[in-house]
Amino acid sequence: MRHSLDIASLIAARKPGYTLPAQFHLSEEIFDLDVRLIFGCHWIYVGVEPEIPEPGDFFTVEIGPDSIIIVRDDDLAVRAFHNVCRHRGLRLRPPGHGIVGNLVCPYHQWTYNLRGELIHCKNMGEEFDRSQIRLKPVHVESLAGLLFICLTEAPSQGFDALRAALEPYIAPHDVRNTKVAFQKDILEEGNWKLTMENNRECYHCAANHPELTVPLLEPGFGYAPSPDNLAQMKEFEDAVTREHARWEGCGLPSAEIDRLEDVTGFRTIRLPIARSGESQTIDTKIACRKLLGELPRADLGGLSVWTQPNSWHHFMSDHIVTFSVLPVTAHRTLLRTRWLVHKDAQQGVDYDLDRLTSVWLATNAQDSSLVERTQQGVSSAAYQPGPYSPFTEGPVDKFTRWYLRRLAAGLGLHP
Amino acid sequence: MRHSLDIASLIAARKPGYTLPAQFHLSEEIFDLDVRLIFGCHWIYVGVEPEIPEPGDFFTVEIGPDSIIIVRDDDLAVRAFHNVCRHRGLRLRPPGHGIVGNLVCPYHQWTYNLRGELIHCKNMGEEFDRSQIRLKPVHVESLAGLLFICLTEAPSQGFDALRAALEPYIAPHDVRNTKVAFQKDILEEGNWKLTMENNRECYHCAANHPELTVPLLEPGFGYAPSPDNLAQMKEFEDAVTREHARWEGCGLPSAEIDRLEDVTGFRTIRLPIARSGESQTIDTKIACRKLLGELPRADLGGLSVWTQPNSWHHFMSDHIVTFSVLPVTAHRTLLRTRWLVHKDAQQGVDYDLDRLTSVWLATNAQDSSLVERTQQGVSSAAYQPGPYSPFTEGPVDKFTRWYLRRLAAGLGLHP
Amino acid sequence: MRHSLDIASLIAARKPGYTLPAQFHLSEEIFDLDVRLIFGCHWIYVGVEPEIPEPGDFFTVEIGPDSIIIVRDDDLAVRAFHNVCRHRGLRLRPPGHGIVGNLVCPYHQWTYNLRGELIHCKNMGEEFDRSQIRLKPVHVESLAGLLFICLTEAPSQGFDALRAALEPYIAPHDVRNTKVAFQKDILEEGNWKLTMENNRECYHCAANHPELTVPLLEPGFGYAPSPDNLAQMKEFEDAVTREHARWEGCGLPSAEIDRLEDVTGFRTIRLPIARSGESQTIDTKIACRKLLGELPRADLGGLSVWTQPNSWHHFMSDHIVTFSVLPVTAHRTLLRTRWLVHKDAQQGVDYDLDRLTSVWLATNAQDSSLVERTQQGVSSAAYQPGPYSPFTEGPVDKFTRWYLRRLAAGLGLHP
């Protein structure tokens, strides 16, 4: 692959603490690299185990031009395969989810079992060695019920460390005993990195998210003490200290872990919720009467988890909201959001769907508009990288640095 | 023209007996070569004489960005021209058909007669030599009423051989005395070569074409004897031998001719139809009471003709179905299908349009979906060329080989 | 920026007196150069002062991927800025017009005054020097109320000469005391240069513009004497001489000025209108009872002004029609047309909107179709540049020459 852009110079040209040069959001060539080196070589969050509880249950994930099938095998293991028949290349299953016995290609009925093995095909003759052919496997791991895939043969290191660190935090919310109450896909008209940058700060929250800022306390989402906010930060940090002591007393790990700079980068912290302290709802009260796992009470704040390069999650006592960012083209991104509740909770009895989803449906729509307008702005010849706020946009800068370092590594460039 | 792809290496990299590397279906650069070297330098099937029976009748054909006008001149000759005014370049006629006296450009009324000569233009002054300017001509030939064009100045050889071979087969169906009962254009969301590969095998028919496989006996469409199908093939070949004797006795040449590897490649054979043996209809009976030409009876099976790179045809006793494949973009293809009946047949009296068209309308829709899903699959980074069945996909392999050889020749590469 | 096209050879290859090679209308690379070197470095007509009469009034202009805000400041000066926040790059305002106090970015509320200075931003810390940051300014000039912008830092020369020449012609129509009675945006499916070429001749008018040719006398729009039209031209030129004497007597400069070859190229002439001689309406009578400025009578013909590279204007006694051509993509162009009447004229009383707009609405739609079909034709491999008429397409040739010379200059090529 020859590059008409000089990517190394573009990477080197990035001014520390400033937004990315425009080409990173516009170039088809860099988009192809993003798909191949970022999404192709790192652990990508794609969904949750409760979507595929039974053998034969599957769903697909589309990443740029690629499609992957995530399926539960008869032995209850979760497996993942490229959604491409090994005969004529047909996409085996259209986007979505369903139930299968085997994976049968509709074109010529080549049939694969749920381990990806070609178990049946007609007219290929006696010399044809079926055992040499199988669906191309994709690495898949479950982190306490959250499913991550890695497309490369030798997956990037660090998933074990991520699991060891995060499992104690997430486990009490018992993801495996939830169900998907609602899923919403939004196509955002911007590069996937603008969607991620938008997620990694709350500087924009007060003016743009009237619903979200009812439960959310912005300082927890990337704020650092500054001369302007010393009193506000002190108050917030006192609240965190107080609540962490209470939550840890309930057996809930709460302290911040920030390993966003790792190859398999992540961050977590349990954060206070405003007012009643219960949930990310419009009145801060739980949206589902049936609490998750064995959680003892409703007012447990929200455990937030962020992973590089494509996810974030909020775990409350009553429900979980979990987000997956999937690149479509250089200027289009899928944001897939799932709301999880206890698997035995009944809609209309234990929870009302509108109440459960209204805050994040509104917030996603607001962010989608901001991402679209940022894409428009960075498309202009007049755009030049601007300065991040050192007090509210530190995690954005960390995302940007992580991205450039991983891109450089994938290209074999010296850091 | 500089190539950013190394086409020669891509051609050389193709593994015999395997599907094409993905770039052949995805690259805009290869698409441009396909338009220029395959569709620009070979004999392309575009329609039938009965569409333009009278002087001034014309229709247009769009091939990638090009448009060609096929018109009947006052002397009843069929002529073809590039649909581009020689003054400011306006497309003279929008896609479709119609009747004209002369070809008048709507922009400044430059007027061409049906031989393409500029016979009138205002305001060009006395020094302007109108006789030096004419619509750019395109070679056009009629094969027993089927119209083929060749865009290059020195057309590729072999049309005379094709005509000599096929005319005796097709003539009894008397195409010139038919009319177009129906035409259907489908835009398939795939590369034109996937449309062609889909046509060149019937391995996929049983599971995908419940209507077509009522009249059609799959073994005639590319099957070769294999250990699995020896009995079935023996029975089929006996039927062919028996029917060929009967049809030849009626004066209908029936034996297979396979010259698919020629520059002007083609294949023909008259094949049995199932059950009543009459026609490709849902009950295998004729759809039109008025038989074609001087044909003596209804149960004459189906004469099939395939040409490289873009057509196939089925001639029955009562009607003809004729297909033209036209590239639109690298990932979009027009499939134009026409149903012909005797010119004196009356709709509602001699034939019912639904009965006439239902089998192939359904089949085309099914194939279009398969082509679209193949395009999606080969777009994935996980796609790699897969093995053709030596017993059912031989003609697909022949198409692929023909294509690569002709592309290499067009590029001046050694074979 | 590396070029895969050899632009210099393409420019050199252009045959004098012939239309442009196709690549100039098709290539994305050349489109990017057009945006950067033609629209980025010359004076571009974008609108009129009456659209922003009061402080805080603004409208946006989109040129390819760029967007510019034109705003009236509190001191009544007109200012222009790139519509891009200096922080994260968001497009500050969506396309359109409105009223603002300051320009506030919706993302993080960075706030700019109407001089473009950053007057407020939170969370940036004490070391952040706000005074170093401002919206990128764009040069803007008013020519008797017509607004032109120039995006480059050192604007191309010649605007003063254009102003000195044109102001006496335009001033009597008193643009600043008009209002926009109607604005119509058309997206034309062709390259912007085809829209311009279409404007620069009236050879196509008789056959395509039945409404426009009621008031318009074609010879005034680019015709030169030819052996064919000597009598017609003589009659027309006599009428021009006679009317010019009458109009100059009324204090209206009327003689032709042709400086289309200048860097800041333009042409003007006051031309007779057919029949009643009043206005470009379907009956040639004025459409608005309230005349512009201090004009003494209705039958004053039409003052036409053309500027390179993107505008034309017709000033009558009762109304003005003014056109701005804005490139969108290589094959899509925005034609923005505004109809101006006296600011005190009342719709339904002094003028009827249908009567005011019907001729040019119809004409624009007809031209849009011609541009689209020219784009289709030049996309064909069969297109080759054709000869301009020396007697009716001289101004088209001048536009083409101007364009190529300015492109070459922008690329630093020797002429």
Write out pLDDT tens, residues C242-269: 999 999 999 999 999 999 999 999 999 9
Concatenated DSSP letters of C25-53: HH-HHHHHHIIIIITTTS-EEEEEGGGS-
The region that residue B349 occupies, defined by phi over 0 for left and psi between -120 and 50 for alpha, beta otherwise, is alpha
Using a CB–CB cutoff of 8 Å, tell me whether C9 touches chain B: no
Q: Are A336 and A185 in contact (CB under 8 A)?
A: yes
**Mean pLDDT across the stretch B70-83?**
98
pLDDT at C4: 63
Task: Provide the pLDDT for residue A82.
Answer: 98
Distance of CA A78 to the CA centre of its chain: 18
Query: Average pLDDT in the C383-394 region?
Result: 97
Cα dihedral: A13, A14, A20, A22 (round 10)? -10
What whole-number distance in Å separates Cα of residue B409 and Cα of residue A315?
63
> In this predicted structure, what is the pLDDT of residue B2?
45
Asked if A376 and C67 come within 8 Å (Cβ–Cβ), the reply is yes
Q: Which two tokens stand for residue C179?
A: 């209002």
CB contact under 8 Å between A125 and B204, yes or no, is: no
The overall average pLDDT reported for chain C is 96
Averaged pLDDT, A123-132:
94
Cβ of B154 under 8 Å from any chain A Cβ?
A: no
Global ipTM:
0.96
The C-alpha of B10 sits at a distance from chain C's nearest C-alpha, in angstroms, of: 21
Cβ-nearest to B89 among C229, C377, C390? C377
**Tens digits of residue pLDDT in C95-122:** 999 999 999 999 999 999 999 999 999 9
A44-155 and A159-409, same CATH topology: no
State the pLDDT at residue B5.
76
pLDDT tens digits, C176-229: 999 999 999 999 999 999 999 999 999 999 999 999 999 999 999 999 998 888
- Give yes or no for residue C2 having a pLDDT over 50: no
- Give me the pLDDT at residue A227, please: 83
What pTM, to 2 d.p., does this model score? Answer: 0.96
What percent of chain C is modeled with pLDDT above 70?
Answer: 99
* Interface A-C: count of C-beta contacts within 8 A: 89
Q: Are C378 and B107 an interchain contact pair (Cβ–Cβ within 8 Å)?
A: no
More confident position, A71 or C229:
A71
Interface test with A, best of C44, C90, C135 (most A CBs within 10 A): C90
Q: Encode pLDDT of B328-381 as tens digits.
A: 999 999 999 999 999 999 999 999 999 999 999 999 999 999 999 999 999 999
Of C36, C90, C126, the CB nearest to A377: C90
Amino acid A1: pLDDT: 39
Residue B203 in contact with partner chain A when CB distance is under 8 A: yes
Amino acid C239: pLDDT: 95
Q: Is A387 helix (H, G, I), strand (E, B) or coil?
A: strand
The predicted structure's pLDDT at residue B193: 98
**Does B3 have pLDDT greater than 70?**
no
Residues ≥6 apart with Cβ < 8 Å to A339: A180, A181, A182, A183, A319, A320, A321, A356, A357, A360
Q: In chain A, what residues touch B389 (CB-CB under 8 Å)?
A: 108, 123-125
Q: Which residues of B touch C373 (CB under 8 A)?
A: 90-91, 94, 106-107
CA dist B144 and B268 (Å) reads 14
Query: Taking 90 as the threshold, does the pLDDT of residue B415 lie above it?
Result: no
State whether C207 and B89 contact (CB < 8 Å): no
Average pLDDT of chain A to the nearest whole number: 96
Any idea what the Cα angle at residue B189 is, between residues B183 and B191, rounded to 5°?
100
- CB contact under 8 Å between A126 and B376, yes or no, is no
Domain chopping of chain C, boundaries: 44-155, 159-409
CA dihedral over B413, C3, C5, C6, signed as positive or negative: negative
Q: Residue C396: which of C210, C217, C267, C256 has the closest Cα?
A: C267
Percentage of residues in chain B with pLDDT exceeding 70? Answer: 99
Over residues B123-143, mean pLDDT: 96
CA-to-CA distance for C409 and C382, rounded, in angstroms?
30
Pairwise CA distance, residues B377 & A69, whole Å: 13
What pLDDT, in 10s, does the model give residues A261-308?
A: 999 999 999 999 999 999 999 999 999 999 999 999 999 999 999 999
What is the share, in percent, of chain C residues with pLDDT greater than 90?
Answer: 96
Residue B316, both tokens: 């029955």
Residues 353-372 of A with CB under 8 A from C: 370
- C404: closest CA of chain B, how far (Å): 18
B204 reaches A (C-beta below 8 A): yes
Let me know: does C178 contact C320? Beta carbons within 8 Å: yes
Contact A91 B376 (CB under 8 A): yes
Residues of chain A with C-beta less than 8 angstroms from the C-beta of C124: 387, 389-391
Q: In the prediction, which pLDDT does C17 show?
A: 96
Rounded mean pLDDT, B73-98: 98
CA angle C384, C389, C395 (to 5 degrees): 100
* Separation in Å, CA of C225 to nearest CA in chain B: 10
In whole angstroms, give the CA distance from residue A280 to residue A363: 11
What tokens were used for A325? 């960012």
| Cβ within 8 Å, pair C90-A380 | no
Contacts of C89 in chain A (CB under 8 A): 19, 22, 374, 377-378, 383, 385-386
Residues 87-126 of B with CB under 8 A from C: 87-92, 94, 106-109, 122-126
Q: Is the pLDDT of residue B1 over 80?
A: no
Contacts of B384 in chain A (CB under 8 A): 86
CB–CB contact B66 C381 (8 Å): yes
pLDDT in the model for residue C5: 76
Q: For C90, which of A203, A229, A373 is closest by C-beta distance?
A: A373
For residue range C147-162, list pLDDT tens digits in order.
999 999 999 889 999 9
pLDDT at A244 over 80: yes
Chains in contact with C, where contact requires at least 3 CB pairs less than 8 Å apart: A, B
Residue B268 · residue B319 · CB < 8 Å: no
Chain C hits for A387, CB-CB cut-off 8 Å, are 87, 124, 128
The arrangement of secondary structure in C44-155, i.e. its CATH architecture, is 3-layer Sandwich (2.102)
**Best CA proximity match to A69, nearest among A114, A108, A133:** A114
Model confidence at B69, in pLDDT bands (50, 70, 90)? very high
Query: Of all residues in chain C, what percent are helix, strand and coil, respectively (each to 5)?
Result: 30, 25, 45
Instruction: Of C370, C189, C188, C376, give the one whose Cα is nearest residue B67.
Output: C376
- What would the pLDDT profile of C344-363 be if each residue is shown by its tens digit? 999 999 999 999 999 999 99
What residues in B contact A128, CB-CB < 8 Å? 387
Contact A21, A14 (CB under 8 A): yes
End-to-end CA distance of chain A: 21
Cβ–Cβ below 8 Å for A374 and C88 = yes
Band (pLDDT 50/70/90 cuts) for residue C415 is low
Chain A residues with CB-CB distance to B382 below 8 A: 66, 82, 84, 136
Q: Residue A2's pLDDT is what?
A: 45
Is A159-409 a domain of CATH 1.10.940.10? no
